[in-house]
Structure 1
Amino acid sequence: MPTMMLLFQFKPEQVQQIREIAPDWTIVSGKANEMSKEQYLEAEVICGWNSSVAEALEGRCKLKWVQTISAGIDKLPLNKLEQHGVYLTSASGIHPVSMAETFFAMLLAFSRNLHHAIRNQSDRNWMPSEHYSQLSGKTIAIIGVGTIGAEIARLSGAFGMRTLGVRRSGLPVPGVHEMYGMEALHEVLLQSDVVVNVLPHTEETHHLFNAQRFEQMKPETLFFNLGRGASVNTADLVQALQNSTLAGAGLDVFETEPLPNDHPLWTMDNVIITPHIGGWTDHYKQKMADIFLPNLQAYLAEGKPRSNLVDYKHSY
């Protein structure tokens, strides 16, 4: 009897749905530290990830498919998974609404200086800002337009913003006024008042945003990173913020997480920091079930999950 391991904590009714889809399977559900080494070695399908899964790949494991619970898979041992012939599916598509809302929470805070107001409130300090702005009429660049970028573009239109998009294919996306390939990134940055990075981390995107890129932006540009921390050279970003090459930054992801408590980004009044929570939502378990259950049905019927398959060649 094949074994399926659920490291993600689905609701009881969702676990029951899984059991009904795979009645002939042994289904092990629980926290990572509750599982034995033997269970990891026996598992053919795993929903979730931890270091014990990576360790199992070093032995004679039976693993054939891993469903992650995040869209990003850059921290997984992709080479080892590919060598073992393991299908890897991500949670891509689960985050558009929550990520877009996190981005606009940051952007509106900058526009109306709410981040300063909140800090002043803690000190009971009545101090209006010298500058307030509006989003209507501004140009936003979405770098890495996928499902998250498309949702950001949709909401940007509601605010009356002009939307530019960049992605590898350069193909058009509904809601994006102008689409470009990565080769035109320089041209897009020159035009933009707001730049939001939602790129995955790959060899091609590592430190894509560096001193040269920040210098291509206007001094009043706001930069946001909700993609992957390693796509930004953090030292160059700090310098750009300190010397006013950039007006401000909203950051949910970092090269080192948690962000060290002595890092200069913490004390900058033109920076908003959130602790890598942009994708989290109270609907997360249902959204994961919406991905995993159809994929499980396809795996049992066809021997291969159908959606969100990671292309090892491109690392996403």
Structure 2
Amino acid sequence: MKKRILLLGFNKSQIILLNKKFGKNIFLTSLKDFNKANALISFKRYEFEKIINNNLISKFSCLEWIHLPGAGIENYLFFKELNKTKFTNGKIIQGNQVADHAIALLLSLTRKISFISKYGQDKPFDFRPIELNNKRALIVGFGGIGKCIADRAYGFGLKLDAISYEFDHKNRIIENFYLLENLNEAVSKADVIFISAPLTNKTENLFNSKIFKKMKKNSILINISRGKIVCNDSLIKALNEKKLLGVGLDVTYPETLNKNHKLHKMDNVIITPHIAGISQNFTNSTLELIIKNIN
């Protein structure tokens, strides 16, 4: 019996390409046909979220494979009962650009680029850029994206530590590995903290008031993972108490903050709208990965 794949969020040209490559009778394009599918591929995140929001998860118990386009795993946590289903996502094609964005946020803060660009010569300020050389950075989550961040941060002369479930002793640029339960100790030594861990039950609100109290004064926090990992109220309190020198966020919770939100009004906070994983090659790279996985 031929396998059938349900496609969500694909445009006409992409579907035509897949039909030419694999045959017309393989692919389904309507959610109404979910009961005929052996696998599901979502090209756009919000298409897959419709399944979650409409409580359709239980209807997909027969799926052998589910593929999502993003780098996160939190949506897969809804499928814990599907122990026979294989899961894949797009993190392999997003690591480099997410890491680039993390470093861009860091440099924007240490060089005060957005502040100077906004005010120029109109607002007097006493500022000297911060040198990254010999500062210590902690990478919370040392998966594919975390490793890409490490490669770039090392090039700026940062000393590197990492939070990881597995200690990669062959990695010579990480000086110290810590388990998640030792986060208190790890953050107390870091001048810069990158959050690249997935959102799970263990990492939701991981950066709360207790962790911020342990962080070094004038440290910098960069979050390119998921907004729910950082507690907003605790973050705002730490900023108001001058605990943090600056914060760079590509992700927030909720995903789009109200324009009058306190974080938008702080000169030492940079927020971008969850764009770290996007590049000019993203669409083509995503389609290439999907074709590879189908094969």
| TM tier, smaller | 0.7 to 0.9
**Structure 2: 5+ residue stretches without partners:** none
Q: What residue identity is the alignment partner of 1:3?
A: R
Alignment of 1:42 onto 2:36: yes
CA-CA distance at 1:146 after TM superposition:
1.0
Aligned counterpart, 2:74: 74
Aligned counterpart, 2:4: 3
User: Structure 1: how far apart are the matches of 2:9 and 2:22?
Assistant: 17
The alignment's C-alpha RMSD in Å is: 2.6
Q: Residue 52 and residue 191 in structure 1: after superposition, are their counterparts in 2 closer, same or farther (change >3 A)? A: closer
Deviations 1:160-188 (Å, cap 9, x if unpaired)?
Answer: 11111111123333532332222332222
Q: SS at the partner of 2:236?
A: helix
Q: Residue 11 and residue 109 in structure 1: after superposition, are their counterparts in 2 closer, same or farther (change >3 A)? A: farther
TM-score, structure 2 normalization: 0.86
- Would you say the 8 A contact 1:99–1:148 is kept in 2? yes
Q: Residue 220 and residue 57 in structure 1: after superposition, are their counterparts in 2 closer, same or farther (change >3 A)? A: closer
User: Structure 1: how far apart are the matches of 2:287 and 2:6?
Assistant: 14
Aligned counterpart, 1:181: 179
- Would you say the 8 A contact 2:109–2:247 is kept in 1? no
**Structure 1: 5+ residue stretches without partners:** 30-34, 298-316
User: Structure 2: how far apart are the matches of 1:225 and 1:11?
Assistant: 35
Aligned counterpart, 1:168: 165
Q: SS at the partner of 2:225?
A: coil
Q: SS at the partner of 1:183?
A: helix
TM-score, structure 1 normalization: 0.81
Q: Residue 11 and residue 226 in structure 1: after superposition, are their counterparts in 2 closer, same or farther (change >3 A)? A: farther
Q: What residue identity is the alignment partner of 1:88?
A: F
Q: What residue identity is the alignment partner of 2:34?
A: Y
Aligned counterpart, 2:111: 112
Q: Residue 234 and residue 126 in structure 1: after superposition, are their counterparts in 2 closer, same or farther (change >3 A)? A: closer
Q: Please identify runs of 4+ aligned residues in structure 1 that moved more than 6 A.
A: none
Aligned counterpart, 1:125: 122
User: Structure 2: how far apart are the matches of 1:143 and 1:8?
Assistant: 32
> Number of residues paired by the alignment?
287
CA-CA distance at 1:140 after TM superposition:
0.8
CA-CA distance at 1:53 after TM superposition:
3.4
Correspondence for 1:235 among 216, 233, 236: 233
User: Structure 1: how far apart are the matches of 2:67 and 2:34?
Assistant: 14
User: Structure 2: how far apart are the matches of 1:143 and 1:11?
Assistant: 40
Q: SS at the partner of 1:115?
A: helix
- Would you say the 8 A contact 2:61–2:82 is kept in 1? no
